[in-house]
Structure 1
Amino acid sequence: TKPSNCNGSQFDTRKVSPKMRIKLKKSWPDVESGNDTRFWKDEWNKHGTCSVERLNQMQYFERSHDMWLSYNITEILKNASIVPHPTQTWTYSDIVSPIKTATGRTPTLRCKQDKKT
């Protein structure tokens, strides 16, 4: 299980540089509500506070961004011929398998219904 809700300092928006915010908007956006800052705050307060012995807040978000850079999930899926398509669908294992092969980890996937449909 992932450590959560530790006793480290709470999120401080001033500790995430403008340059890092730009990077995080691409690598770690809030895909559900669109409120990136609130999402990052929640992630830091729940998980990042457990890393304070090794990573301060800025380092935590730098590490998160670096992890995103090291595994280009879009490219991994593209190489497995999993690309946006108006009618094609894929099974859970179709998507998980190439990601697991490339990263050595089993991803957690959630579906989000398009509000336009």
Structure 2
Amino acid sequence: MKLFHCFRLLTTLSLASLSTIAFTADIKPNYFFISLKWPKTQCQSKEGSCLPKEGSPSLNDFVIHEFQALYFSNGGILANCTTGTKFQPSKIADLVPSLQKYWPSLSCPSRDSMQLWKEEWEEYGTCAETVFNQHDYFAAALRVYKQINLLKVLAHAGIKPNGTYYPGYAINKAISKPGLGDIAVSCRDDEKGLTAVLDYITFCASNKGKRIKCPGHSFWICDSRNGNYIKFPY
């Protein structure tokens, strides 16, 4: 069973235990986490980035990293639900062009992004079947992604992918201004050995596939030794 970061959202947004929640048919997610990844960070990381075998991913914009159902009663992300339906590529045929662009596989070695979508459906999508079928799960993720328009939001605040280190408070302010609420920011290591390169930012979405304001306070999975300054790579 894959371990993953589990967020507890009560009055604050904080890191909780590494665990999963057992799925039963009557569990209905309260809302979703959608994480948007900056692909250039992975390209410059030690593990590298490989283009998928098919499609043209958007490498100069944020892409979808994960779309995870959250069950508020237990404060955890639902995952690895074995009672869900099997992934069927035909169910998302009309979404493939958009998914190839905005939710691509960037892992090495290169592979078809369909394998990534299969993994995401089996790990997270099946846990949301009380609100989304397979098609609607991926359609909702794409819809929320476009509603956020993260690169534009940051650019409006003068925060651009130019290799500059930006203060965390500036990122928080830029994102809260358009009503996106509080966020979770994750980083990778930079050349100084600090976990301070922008990797992905997590937002919240409703069960109807609309962006909503996250509760609590902004949470950082980044290094604070440099004053919460974060590098936004070229």
TM tier, smaller: 0.7 to 0.9
Q: CA deviation at 1:48?
A: 0.4
Equivalent in 149, 153, 161 of residue 76 of structure 1: 153
**How far apart, CA to CA, are the structure 1 residues paired with 2:105 and 2:187?**
13
**How far apart, CA to CA, are the structure 2 residues paired with 1:95 and 1:22?**
31
Per the normalisation by structure 1, the TM-score is: 0.77
Are the structure 2 counterparts of residues 110 and 13 from structure 1 closer, same or farther at C-alpha, using a change threshold of 3 Å?
A: farther
Give SS of 1:111's match.
strand
For structure 2, the 5+ residue unaligned runs are: 1-75, 191-234
Whose helix proportion is higher, 1 or 2? 1
Per the normalisation by structure 2, the TM-score is: 0.42
1:21 to 2:86 alignment: no
**How far apart, CA to CA, are the structure 2 residues paired with 1:97 and 1:38?**
37
Give 1:89's aligned amino acid: Y
Between the two proteins, the alignment pairs up a number of residues equal to 111
Structure 1 residues 64-110: Cα deviation after superposition (integer angstroms, max 9, x where no partner)? 1100111100111111211121x422245543442344412413424
Give SS of 2:164's match.
coil
Are the structure 2 counterparts of residues 108 and 88 from structure 1 closer, same or farther at C-alpha, using a change threshold of 3 Å?
A: closer
Report % sequence identity: 25
Residue of structure 2 equivalent to 1:12:
88
* Equivalent residue runs for 1:1-117 within 5 Å: 1-6=76-81, 7-17=83-93, 19-33=94-108, 35=111, 36-85=113-162, 87-102=163-178, 103-111=180-188
**How far apart, CA to CA, are the structure 2 residues paired with 1:111 and 1:29?**
20
**How far apart, CA to CA, are the structure 2 residues paired with 1:53 and 1:66?**
19
Give SS of 1:11's match.
coil
Does structure 2 retain, via aligned residues, the 8 Å contact 1:15–1:58? Answer: yes
Q: Which has the larger radius of gyration?
A: 2
For structure 1, the 5+ residue unaligned runs are: none
Whose strand proportion is higher, 1 or 2? 2
**How far apart, CA to CA, are the structure 2 residues paired with 1:75 and 1:25?**
21
Give 1:95's aligned amino acid: I
